[in-house]
Amino acid sequence: MTEVVLGVCGGIAAYKSCELLRLFTESGHGVRVVPTAAALKFVGAPTWAALSGRPVTTEVWDDAHEVPHVRIGRQADLVVVAPATADLLAKAAHGIADDLLTNTLLTATCPVVFAPAMHTEMWENPATQANVALLRSRGFVVIEPAVGRLTGADTGKGRLPDPQSIFEVARHALAGGRTDLRGRRVVVTAGGTREPLDPVRFLGNRSSGKQGYALARTAVARGARVTLIAANVTLGDPAGADVVRVGTTEELRKATIEAFADADVVVMAAAPADFRPATVADQKIKKTDSGTPTIELVTNPDIAAELGAAKRPGQLLVAFAAETQDALENARGKLVRKRADLIVVNEVGVDRVFGADSNTVTLLGADGSTAALAEIPKDDVADAIWDAIVIRLAPLVSDGGTV
């Protein structure tokens, strides 16, 4: 049985960690909850003990004969701190150990995941950002907080991500997940755009966004800073990704071009509509006895081709080709036209790929490489795509040389 330490800090989001604890225990992991004294002001020790089936304490002095301040960290296969407050991040970054949780962090040799939750001003404070950067530079995973309702009437960045999303990042780390995207900025597009015909109807497609969301989740788990541009997707936001919501192809284009400027990699997993109505009716189009209305279509811009023409040296573009026939032949043509470095090819159709949890794809590289993947879960497809991207990335360089 793998041993997980769940650290819980003092914040209103502490109650959400009960669900995270349940996800770990129901997956067969042994969990030791180590709350701070402040966390027990929000959720009492009996709750943690009942859910975990393990004793709960915040003090290094309790059961001192077992040396818990050293033993717990040494025996852990994974440490997750959720929520992680600004205070805890500062202590972890600077090696301060003044309670059982901070001692556990100082002695842990396993992967450590922090899921911050705090008010926006606290998260954006230069001190917090410096502490986060320092932790990440040491190989710790610090998930970006979500945007949403905070304590009271406040809204902004600083909300604890959904427990299921935190669990997915933690599961990746527990499985020996790599951090080979650490320091990289990646942009992923997902979903399908909708082009309005009138205030009620639109032209769209069947894309669910699941593959794009899987790419965002796995990129976060591998250490990247992720911007996810989501077109009409109803899935929960991946923990740690900055989500930008769009509707039409032009909105997707504008958001992607803006995010593209400082990105190392752009993965165009979204399915933008190829055409849009030349005009949009102000009122709902009615059926009449005079016959069927004619709708004139115009071509939407090719976003991937635009990015391919503008990319700078070292910047990678990954395109997608959803085909219904002659998939590889058509995809090879797109690879050249869009000036992509890699294209992900799949054959799609009704009840095929769209909305499914698995995918069958072929990766075609601009270097002539071909890799066919049998049907596997979309998260595994995402990892295979990132594997192909990582080997094509130029080394990161800082003022002191390659890092």
**How far is Cα 281 from Cα 199, in angstroms, rounded to an integer?**
7
Is 205 annotated as catalytic?
yes
One-letter amino acid at 150 equals L
Q: At what angle do helices 249-260 and 303-310 cross, to 10 degrees?
A: 20
Residue tagged active-site, from 103, 125, 131, 205: 205
Contact 372, 347 (CB under 8 A): no
Determine phi and psi for 25, rounding to 5 degrees: -65, -40
Residue 372 β-bridge partners: 362
What is the DSSP-derived secondary structure letter of residue 383?
Answer: H
Q: What CA–CA distance (Å, rounded) separates 112 from 135? A: 10
Helix (H) or strand (E) holding 195: strand 195-196
The answer to whether 158 and 151 are in contact (CB under 8 A) is: no
Chain mean position to CA 28: 24
Dihedral sign of CA atoms 86, 92, 96, 100 in order: positive
234 CB neighbour count, 10 Å cutoff:
8
Geometric angle at alpha carbon 257, from 251 and 260, rounded to 5°: 135
For the annotated catalytic residues, the residue numbers are 205
